[in-house]
Structure 1
Amino acid sequence: MTATAADGNVATARPVSVPRGYRFELVKLVSQWRIRLLVLACWIAPGLFVAAVSRQSTLPVDTLFGRWMHATGWAGPLVMLGFAGTWALPLLTSVVAGDIFASEDRLGTWRHLLVAVRSPRRIFAAKALASLTALLLLVVGLACSSVVGGLLAVGNQPLVGLDGHLLTSADAAGKVLLAWVCVLAPTLALAAIGLLGSVALGRSPMGLLLPAVVALGMQLAQMLPLPAAVRLGLPSYAFIAWNGLFTGPAQLRPLVIGVVVSLVWAVIATVLAYALFMRRDFTNATYDGSGRRAVTAGVLPLAGVVAVTVAVVAATTGATGSGIEQDKVQRSLATAFAHLYRMQTKQLNRPDVTEAQLKTTATCDKGSIRVAAEGPGNDWRCVVSWHLPGVEAAGTAIYQLDVTPDGRFMADGDGPKEVNGYFLVRTPTGDAPNPLWQFDGNVELLRTAKE
């Protein structure tokens, strides 16, 4: 009778539901001291960093929006976003997603987990969802902390965009929020790669390091003078493409492409991780992963995804070469100068002029007529010309440009002194930073429909 009852209980036992497994995995994650420490750091450290830097006399002017951290609290979250996309988010995905499956291998608890849950599919779903929830909590902490730190330290002032136009506080807040939301896509891609490495490599340390290593490789690729199609075909470009939100009109095509490519990577890497997990032999307590399987089921498929995405981007956008061309640089520089000239005019209490009245143009080359005026480099030399109403002679200013492969440029004024040759301007209320001395801009790598 007892044996019959026991057999009946085994027969009616059902797998644990995904929500219950998800709660269990989430509790396991947040009970780890390193996860708790990361959560605490992400919710406190960015705010302290932004507030401290904003009150320093020396600003990180080599970082996008770093030169505006004295002027508005909305610059700090963008400086933190640039740092997070380069270093913080890849490391966070490694610690969370890269270890979610490997931890069971190190502890030897797979058999206990399978007996308790009774469904490998639900185990995979619960672990994947728990790791994504933890990552979302960390990203939200980075964003909220840096916003609060910037607003408390500097205030809710307007923000100067990458084309020199002034964004209202409300507009800046919306764009900063949208920029942080957009980087969730490449974060998901790295998290999926972490899941794949954790499943394929078992307790091997390479599984834990895989998202960071892949992110570093893609960042190095973004620093090289690669064709625009290759650049946009990598999910890492979405960590950069949010720059286009801060131009007028917004450069949305590269951002949309970067987000879509990242989501494609996230889906494919997750599917590969799931397929490997379902084929795994859980009876082997000494499983250390399979390098051959990692290559055939991980590296090669993702390499194929790169080839396909690059081909699709090149075919649908017509992108050729670096995307950095003479007419684009000239147009971007002239637009930014016109906006910032109006800002300087207001500082000096001069009569206001519009961009249409200024008729600003720029002529750029790369130091020699023998060198084609295209591609990245720090040898761009530009002469900006503009006209004031009622003044017959045109004004001119010289700039040295350092254009990076991703389209960002830093313009360094080279005279005349009263326009852009000095970092301060004398205003009726005292000396103030000269907006025309040095400023950042952005060249869209893809041609617009009008072009």
Structure 2
Amino acid sequence: MTAPAVSDPTVGEPAGDAAAEEPRVPVTRAYRFELVKLVSQWRIRLLMLVCWTAPGLFVAAVNQQATLPSDTLFGRWMHATGWAGPLVVLGFAGSWALPLLVSVVAGDVFAAEDRLGTWRHLLVAVRSPRRIFWAKALAGLTVIVAMVAGLAAAAVVGGLATAGNRPLVGLDGHLLTPSDAAGSVLLAWLCALAPTLALAAIGLLGSVILGRSPMGLLLPALAAVAMQLAQMLPLPVALRLALPGYAFISWNGLFTGPAQLDELLIGVAVSLAWVLAATALAYRLFARRDFTNATDDGPGRRAATGAVLPLAALLALTFGAVALATPSTGSGITQAKVQQSVATAFAHLYRMQTDQLNRPAVTEAQLRTSAACDRGDGQVDPVGPGNDWRCVVTWHLPGTSATGNAVYQLNVASNGRIEADGDGPKEVNGYFLVHTPAGDAPNPLWQFDGSVELLPTSPKG
């Protein structure tokens, strides 16, 4: 007598005629199961609650304080408009919050099954390792997108509720209308989703390779810290752009006029390339895993050839592509670019101060603003990042022959951000308040931010 066909639980594939009688579970059904399983975890629920509430409370609390985080990008404008708060939160999230959130979700999505020893049960239920992979990857993606959306929504609500829907001062001093500011803020958060997904893909890969090891959980956070440290070093621009986390920085270009989109588009494209590469590697290694061996905890040492080398090759390829496409092997920070950025921002902000003091309106063309900048009192070559930059800004008022002069001490970061600190005269930029007919108001010329476009795109740079 012939024995009836049965399923082989060690492999997860049906034997004999059972394949026709017991079809594999669709990916959509497995996805819903994995999503419910993820959301049912208390730490995921707690993180989701924090993402949807903490940014709004933080922005609201800061807006009630007399002292603002002026050393943070857009921090000094949090009292002036509700659109500054979401950008402050985005800067913090890109550095710390998002890598940690990704580590908790993506870094543990496969390792949890290794710790609990539930792979065989899951394979019997779903009957396909490939469907399991995509179900888990899509469930993790859904949770991560929901967390990012919560961070953005909470920060926007908190900012608008406490500071109002008002114009935002851009990185070159020009005013963005509330509608333009809203579009740029939402687009900045959307662009930051690309490097977040790149870290998530790295987390999936680490979870597949390292199994129950805690290093898989920490891999996205460690990768983010390594990329942050790399951005602080005097690396060539092409290598900066080849790192998948650069889009956490390059969204700044959305707030200049005209927008500096080249770096942003390259950063997003590189991040998406890492998403595809790391996910494909994770899928390949997971599909080849031997689930019949109860002691098999992932590829282990084979990761050096199965994952690390392809990602290193991707980094080298993107670095070479950017270096060939643009002459960007240096720091990208030159004397001419710094002078142009400072002069442009000063001209825009001078008009704002003129409006505060009810003086006759002027235009940038009438002011004819220029800046002369050097480093180390002329003892250092005026290129590259540093906190020893010094600029003398000169402008002309219509109807007068005299020229105005203002001194600024600059800190130019390696990512092109300029922090200008006024050093006199007092009536222009030497004090953080100006006396207006309506009372004291923050002086826009006391301290301001600027941005140097690292890629050479125009003769003026």
Q: In the alignment, what sits opposite 1:135?
A: 144
Q: Conserved in 1, the CA contact under 8 Å of 2:289 and 2:299?
A: no
- Tell me how far apart the structure 1 counterparts of residues 20 and 79 of structure 2 sit (CA, whole Å): 68
Note if 1:276 corresponds to 2:285: yes
Note if 1:262 corresponds to 2:271: yes
- Tell me how far apart the structure 2 counterparts of residues 301 and 46 of structure 1 sit (CA, whole Å): 37
> Would the alpha carbon gap of residues 28 and 371 (structure 1) be closer, same or farther in structure 2, given more than 3 Å must change?
same
Equivalent in 210, 227, 250 of residue 218 of structure 1: 227
Equivalent in 93, 97, 103 of residue 112 of structure 2: 103
Unaligned runs of 5+ in 1: none
* AA of the residue aligned to 2:129: P
Equivalent in 236, 239, 251 of residue 227 of structure 1: 236
Shift of 1:131: 0.4
Shift of 1:283: 1.5
Note if 1:84 corresponds to 2:93: yes
- Tell me how far apart the structure 2 counterparts of residues 344 and 246 of structure 1 sit (CA, whole Å): 20
- Tell me how far apart the structure 2 counterparts of residues 324 and 449 of structure 1 sit (CA, whole Å): 14
* AA of the residue aligned to 1:412: D
2:138 match: secondary structure: helix
* AA of the residue aligned to 1:140: A
Equivalent in 350, 360, 374 of residue 383 of structure 2: 374
Deviation digits for residues 401-423 of structure 1 (CA, Å, limit 9, x no counterpart): 00010000100000011100111
Note if 1:71 corresponds to 2:53: no
2:391 match: secondary structure: strand
Report the TM-score when normalising by structure 2.
Answer: 0.96
State which drifts further: 337-346 or 14-23. 14-23
Q: In the alignment, what sits opposite 2:439?
A: 430
- Tell me how far apart the structure 1 counterparts of residues 386 and 184 of structure 2 sit (CA, whole Å): 29
Q: Conserved in 1, the CA contact under 8 Å of 2:289 and 2:298?
A: no
- Tell me how far apart the structure 2 counterparts of residues 258 and 298 of structure 1 sit (CA, whole Å): 22
Note if 1:293 corresponds to 2:288: no
Q: In the alignment, what sits opposite 1:420?
A: 429
Q: Conserved in 1, the CA contact under 8 Å of 2:285 and 2:299?
A: no
Note if 1:55 corresponds to 2:64: yes
Q: Conserved in 1, the CA contact under 8 Å of 2:59 and 2:155?
A: yes
Note if 1:175 corresponds to 2:184: yes
1:71 match: secondary structure: coil
- Tell me how far apart the structure 2 counterparts of residues 320 and 231 of structure 1 sit (CA, whole Å): 10
Note if 1:400 corresponds to 2:409: yes
Deviation digits for residues 347-394 of structure 1 (CA, Å, limit 9, x no counterpart): 000000000000000000002333110100000000000000011011
Q: In the alignment, what sits opposite 1:35?
A: 44
Q: Conserved in 2, the CA contact under 8 Å of 1:204 and 1:289?
A: no
- Tell me how far apart the structure 2 counterparts of residues 40 and 152 of structure 1 sit (CA, whole Å): 20
- Tell me how far apart the structure 2 counterparts of residues 207 and 81 of structure 1 sit (CA, whole Å): 25
- Tell me how far apart the structure 2 counterparts of residues 417 and 287 of structure 1 sit (CA, whole Å): 70
Note the 1:278-357 alignment, pairs <5 A.
Answer: 278-357=287-366
Q: In the alignment, what sits opposite 1:388?
A: 397
Shift of 1:318: 1.5
- Tell me how far apart the structure 2 counterparts of residues 335 and 318 of structure 1 sit (CA, whole Å): 25
- Tell me how far apart the structure 2 counterparts of residues 2 and 134 of structure 1 sit (CA, whole Å): 48
- Tell me how far apart the structure 2 counterparts of residues 221 and 320 of structure 1 sit (CA, whole Å): 15
1:134 match: secondary structure: helix
2:305 match: secondary structure: helix
Shift of 1:305: 1.2
> How many equivalent pairs are there?
451
> Would the alpha carbon gap of residues 36 and 260 (structure 1) be closer, same or farther in structure 2, given more than 3 Å must change?
same
Q: In the alignment, what sits opposite 2:254?
A: 245
Shift of 1:5: 8.5
Q: Conserved in 2, the CA contact under 8 Å of 1:387 and 1:393?
A: yes
Equivalent in 197, 201, 208 of residue 199 of structure 1: 208
- Tell me how far apart the structure 1 counterparts of residues 346 and 294 of structure 2 sit (CA, whole Å): 65
2:47 match: secondary structure: helix
Report the TM-score when normalising by structure 1.
Answer: 0.98
- Tell me how far apart the structure 2 counterparts of residues 268 and 8 of structure 1 sit (CA, whole Å): 37
Unaligned runs of 5+ in 2: 7-15
1:386 match: secondary structure: strand
